Chain A
């Protein structure tokens, strides 16, 4: 079966682990991976449209660059991989992407960059688990 996996990636160690896990699953199932980086939407009233565009551009390029190495690596192993950068609330965007792209399973780190270790699950991952219609694999 060809599983379509969505990895939520924020550059943290946990999200790298999630990506590894997803790669393993994708290999087994001959599936494909969508790597999603959600960048907070910092566009606001103080900023003109051009300012916002400039900010998005810097952030998108950066996120894509970060994932480039992993992308090459996984492509060589024969895994179909696509990277997506989106702006907004992390949990909401992850869930929306899962809906829009007919994802079979979300793979997510237990806590991300802002993850407070005292909680079992980070706020983003627990929100995704609570509200996602897709299956969710939380990598610890």
Chain B
């Protein structure tokens, strides 16, 4: 892009970020900058000022550096220029938008939601989940469909895909083995049923509605597996024409966008937990990036929903080669000249294997060796624990007395639980992962809400996230925030309006059925928590 021109865009964006960071840094000075802090106090973002400062300074400095370089020397065709120097202006703009949504728009909606609650009867910001993830996507959509993406930003927007993948890869560090095993087995069952079910359902619909076979094939992959990318992957084996792809892609994008905006609100209204919603989003939403988006809109604070949803999404993507092969066989059967031999199954498996999944698995393997977890920290279930004796982890004497009374009453019949609780009384704090599980179980032996809270607190007091993981989580959220603004910028009316004809009918029927059925199954049958 911008071939031989020396573009000042990156320099301007970089300087804006840098100046913002420096102004924040001087926030204790009396005049102009002081206002920023007043704003932050009003928006209740004062706690995040330090993060804002460091991200703004670092990204600003880097982007300004490349901005100067871009101005001094025109971008060439080298790989480095294409990957780094050309996109940098767009990257900076998206980072800037992420700032605005995360530290200004989301907080202001929060304040407005609270202010309007007495009149409306509900907090609209909380109900519709107007958090920075959603707002970022909406800004992206509005931007691309009104002013459009200027040339100097285009290659930057394309890096959103990479950012999302990086986000997913770093997410790999956040799982424990038990979690992965549990979610993995759940997802394989759910995904297998829904992928195969949807593919067969769409093939049947296609036969009933007499749509051309290539179109039916592309649609079934897209609706069954993982949206647009599956549709394109299946295109060659069913000999899809351009028009089939255009119809399917427009429709898959549309159904996905509708899901992305409705799922989180529905999930919140019926009170789904993280596991239920993550499983539902990972099964029912069509496109990969939209799954992550929905999970984060539902729950942007912790990453538990995202963790579940991504496992489902990855499982689904792994099914893609299987479906491509199934479709190849289905298509060949209907053709006069059988061309079954043409599909090279081995090649399909290799070509369609998503490389980022390897990164994800490697990251998981790395983190389970404990390199990100310093001494004293343990990952157990979904939480990190630190059992080193510390005064702030101790249960209050008054509460311990109450616990002692429970033990004395003889109501705790399970000897293991009893021993664990007695040890808690002796040590004043929990000291092992096995003990914390047993202490949590102790609340089954009492109806006293106060006691139940004491046990929960005893567990919470020893929970601690290692600083490295905290930092990784923060960076990961930036990857996702970045990627999802980029996602919004690629939801164009131009693409959606390609949807039409019978493809749209099949898409709406199958998409809705899949969403509704998976909702029922997740809501009614998934009872556990992570």
Contacts and interface: CB of A to CB of B under 8 A. Distances in A.
A69 interface: no
A58 B240 contact: yes
Nearest to B230: A46
Given A45-B164, A45-B289, A46-B288, A40 B246 contact: yes
B490 interface: yes
Nearest to B286: A46
A58 B498 contact: no
Contacts of B249: 42
Given A46-B229, A59-B242, A54 B495 contact: no
A40 B494 CA distance: 8
A39 B287 contact: no
B227 interface: yes
A15 B36 CA distance: 58
A59 to B, nearest CB: 4
Interface string A81-95: 000000001000000
Contact of A44 (B164, B242, B351, B495): B495
Interface in B277-309: 287-289
B229 A63 contact: no
A62 B232 contact: no
Interface string B60-74: 000000000000000
A55 B158 CA distance: 17
Contacts of A55: 232, 235, 245
B241 to A, nearest CB: 6
Given A40-B494, A42-B246, A54 B241 contact: no
A58 B246 CA distance: 11
Nearest to A42: B249
A59 B497 CA distance: 18
Given A47-B229, A58-B236, A63-B242, A89 B494 contact: yes
B487 interface: yes
Interface string A38-65: 0110101111101100110011001100
A43 to B, nearest CB: 9
B233 interface: yes
A119 B240 CA distance: 32
Interface in A103-119: 114
Say what secondary structure dominates the interface of chain B: helix
B504 interface: no
B494 A45 contact: no
Contacts of B164: 45
B245 A47 contact: no
B382 interface: no
A45 B242 contact: no
Contacts of A89: 494
B245 A44 contact: no
Nearest to B226: A46
B507 interface: no
Given A45-B161, A45-B164, A46-B289, A51 B245 contact: no
Contacts of A45: 158, 160-161, 164, 289, 483, 486-487, 490
A48 B229 contact: yes
A63 B241 CA distance: 10
Given A46-B288, A47-B228, A51-B232, A58 B495 contact: no
A94 B10 CA distance: 30
A58 B228 contact: no
A46 B235 contact: no
A54 B486 contact: no
A54 B287 contact: no
A47 B487 contact: no
Contacts of A114: 497
Interface string B480-492: 0001001100100
Contacts of A46: 161, 227-229, 287-289
A60 to B, nearest CB: 9
Residue among A45, A50, A58, A89 with most chain B CB within 10 A: A45
A73 to B, nearest CB: 23
Interface string A121-140: 00000000000000000000
A52 to B, nearest CB: 8
A45 to B, nearest CB: 5
A54 B498 contact: no
Given A55-B245, A58-B241, A44 B490 contact: yes
Contacts of B246: 40, 42
Contact of A59 (B245, B287, B486, B490): B245
Nearest to A51: B232
Contact of B233 (A39, A51, A62): A51
A67 to B, nearest CB: 13
Contacts of B228: 44, 46-47
A62 B232 CA distance: 16
23 contacts: A40-B494, A42-B246, A42-B249, A42-B495, A42-B498, A44-B228, A45-B289, A46-B161, A46-B227, A46-B287, A46-B288, A47-B228, A47-B232, A48-B161, A48-B229, A54-B235, A58-B235, A58-B242, A59-B242, A62-B241, A62-B242, A63-B242, A89-B494
Interface of B: 158, 160-161, 164, 227-229, 232-233, 235-236, 240-242, 245-246, 249-250, 253, 287-289, 351, 483, 486-487, 490, 494-495, 497-498
The 7 closest A-B pairs by CB, nearest first: A59-B242, A46-B228, A44-B490, A51-B232, A45-B161, A45-B490, A42-B249
Given A45-B490, A54-B232, A54-B236, 5 more contacts: A40-B494, A47-B229, A48-B229, A50-B351, A55-B232
